[in-house]
Amino acid sequence: MASGEERVLLVDDHEDNLFALESALAPLGQPLERATSGNDALKAVLRGGIGLVLLDVVMPQVSGLDVVRYMQRVEQTQHIPVILLTGFGRDSELARVAYRLGVADLVMKPVDPWSLRTKVRYLLAQRRRMQALDIQVQLQDVELRALRAQLEAARAPHAAVPLQHPDVRVPLQPGPRSEPDCEEHPPQPESQYADEKEA
């Protein structure tokens, strides 16, 4: 058993049912925790460290469905997979409500040990994959934030001094005059032009 490994919470108000669940899951080597009421189950999931809940439907005061409803409303517990255990046989209405609440599976009692171990193993492996993916996404987000901070820091010195075009710093030089020089080529008087025509 690895240190810090998540536990499987077994919830039933009958001791013999809890013993049967423990015996069925013992070959997995997974740490187990007991709860004998819905209230105890809620306290256990809120304390943390629970990776899967096996939950009896019918219990006094707080039923299994009530526990699931509460878990779905709390961000800390809404992603913990739940297997509901029922001794009422195949109840289509119960199944409809359970799956609508997000229950991972509905298992009939008495449980089949091999089938239950298979379901538990699969759900725990799936939860570990999702947790690993969440960690990877968080690390990528941290790296992206760091890269953005580096880019902003690199741009800051250039942003402080506005760039100018080289031509802006050179004073304008007077260019060649396109108009004719009036002093060098004065216009002839109109009277003189008239005399030349008569001549």
Split at pLDDT 50, 70, 90, the class of 123 is very high
Place of tokens 């089949």: 112
Split at pLDDT 50, 70, 90, the class of 199 is very low
DSSP code for 12: -
Split at pLDDT 50, 70, 90, the class of 87 is confident
User: What are the structural domains of the chain?
Assistant: 7-129 (3.40.50.2300)
Q: pLDDT tens across 184-197, in order?
A: 555 555 555 555 54
Distance of CA 144 to the CA centre of its chain: 15
Rounded distance, CA 8 to CA 199, Å?
128
CA angle 14, 16, 20 (to 5 degrees): 120
Q: pLDDT tens across 131-155, in order?
A: 677 677 777 778 788 778 778 888 8
| Contact status, residue 120 vs residue 7, Cβ threshold 8 Å | no
What is the average pLDDT value for the chain, to the nearest integer?
82
**Structure confidence at residue 148 (pLDDT):** 82
**Structure confidence at residue 165 (pLDDT):** 56
Q: pLDDT tens across 147-184, in order?
A: 787 788 888 776 555 555 555 555 555 555 555 554 55
Residue 122 reports pLDDT greater than 70: yes
